[in-house]
Structure 1
């Protein structure tokens, strides 16, 4: 048989595209008439029929058998031929005109039954039903979980703005792990962001406390001299009346633990893009603040973000001399950042642009923990 001639599998492929994009199930759920699918069949040209009539008849027979007595599709036939080999009936078009035909052709009857069960379960809850109809394959992917998901949805919807922890969820058959595992589905049902923090914040639930770690100088007024390090809830730390003379914010944890604390000052762990927690500390607004991050595109992006809170912040050990002085310790930044940064100094922006455009090498980065420690101490002391 010619490779160009349509097979029953190719007929099914035409219908499968509508199954895969969800349009068949959406129409089925909405009670709409079946969207008729007509597939023109590529078959032998009249000039080819006489070359091997048996092959042509075999092709037509396979298409005819594939319809399974019209349970999968029907065929329209046309007459071809002439005086050399007689007139013959060959299939010209396959037509799928009913849901049952499509389910049989694709072998998805069991999936459709599961989908119908899901629809029956969620029908009393209009927002959930609307999401299931709009996202049939996503709904099927969690088919076994719908009783619990529906219970979780109801509890979360009823407790919007309650300030409770997710751990307190008491819906039947639901525990914290299930809610967290299916957070993105629940977020879509509830119309809130799917990120962990955005989910809780939008629902008015309480999240895990944000802690800020800091190492105070013994001379720092407002804290016991015996404390060498604290981890404090961000809002509680912001409420303290601390008056450090200087502050050093460090991106990397081990570097944060290693640097000396300036007299009368404080060292804080910025923790990468979580630096906003430090930036919101109001008692840093009038303090000489230095920031030390990685020498890569993300390090400068974090510095730029930090200055949105504390414009007076100065960078340290994030200069061209430090980068070029440690060429043998360069690494490769897997996914460089490329945003436009408006809060960098001219020198910082020039170096950032060199990193973004690979002028110094392919995705160059220098992690702060790779800096020579004598170099670090000398410049921090200065």
Structure 2
């Protein structure tokens, strides 16, 4: 093993940060599970490496001195002592024993405090959402600046059981169409978690909030031209597709076209 393969403190921090970014530790805390100490093995010099590269091995071992890493517990072992070789103690594994040590080490205390504050506040205002939050803490943190408006919007959907309205008519302070469109991904997840099964049209995609959760959708229209001469009081009409179930009175032939210019160029 060459010196470049020996595990550095920076390697361990990177490994711990990947674990943190998965959200597993905040999720466990929110679900009431005790913190399980984290173990990260260290790749270090062998007895042969120590004999051949003593100064580099010593420098590596000193980089793992306990006083440099107050938030880690460093496990060591003794190598050498065979065939008249000297014995040396080297670190082989680090442990992070508490959540406090982890967030201090990674400088994520503010993230942890923010998530716990949002989780506690939501447990009071809308407890139905806390299980989803506990399962997706990093999504909650990403949405933290807008969290209150998101849960207010979910509450509006849950409580609105009157006649369907358009998306623009959602009556939540600070929530408009642009807000909903910008956060439709997380809103879809929250609504799927929160709404009764009979309020969710699961055949509709999650990014189509209107169709999936029973709002009115913008109607589609068909343009009509009357090709007789004279055409009557209007040269063109536009009607809702849902209302065009039969041909207009007096019409015997209908030409259906997709291309607009072709439609306009008919004599």
The TM-score normalised by the length of structure 1 is 0.60
1:81 counterpart = 2:77: no
Q: Is the partner of 1:39 in helix, strand or coil?
A: strand
Corresponding residue of 1:266: none
Distance 2:5 2:250 in 1: 81
What displacement does 1:105 show? Answer: 2.9
What displacement does 1:129 show? Answer: 1.7
Corresponding residue of 1:195: 207
Corresponding residue of 1:182: 183
Count of residues in correspondence between the two structures = 253
Alpha-carbon contact 1:148-1:174 (below 8 Å) kept: yes
CA RMSD of aligned residues (A): 2.6
Distance 1:28 1:130, change over 3 A: same
Corresponding residue of 2:228: 218
Corresponding residue of 1:231: 238
Corresponding residue of 2:196: none
Alpha-carbon contact 2:222-2:241 (below 8 Å) kept: yes
Q: Deviation digits for residues 200-252 of structure 1, max 9, x if unmatched?
A: 133222222222222233379xxx72322222122233366556444333333
Corresponding residue of 1:150: 151
Alpha-carbon contact 1:81-1:88 (below 8 Å) kept: yes
Distance 1:63 1:160, change over 3 A: farther
Q: Is the partner of 1:238 in helix, strand or coil?
A: coil
Alpha-carbon contact 1:151-1:171 (below 8 Å) kept: yes
1:102 counterpart = 2:102: yes
What displacement does 1:119 show? Answer: 0.7
The TM-score normalised by the length of structure 2 is 0.83
What displacement does 1:85 show? Answer: 5.3
Corresponding residue of 1:380: none
Structure 1, unaligned runs of 5 or more: 262-382
Distance 1:47 1:213 in 2: 84
Distance 1:235 1:10, change over 3 A: same
Corresponding residue of 1:283: none
Alpha-carbon contact 2:17-2:106 (below 8 Å) kept: yes
Greater RCO (Cα-Cα under 8 Å, separation 6 or more): 2
Aligned ranges 1:283-294 → 2 under 5 Å? none
Alpha-carbon contact 1:29-1:133 (below 8 Å) kept: yes
Alpha-carbon contact 2:9-2:63 (below 8 Å) kept: yes
Alpha-carbon contact 1:50-1:84 (below 8 Å) kept: no
Distance 2:67 2:262 in 1: 69
Corresponding residue of 2:113: 113
4+ residue runs over 6 A deviation = none
Distance 1:161 1:234, change over 3 A: farther
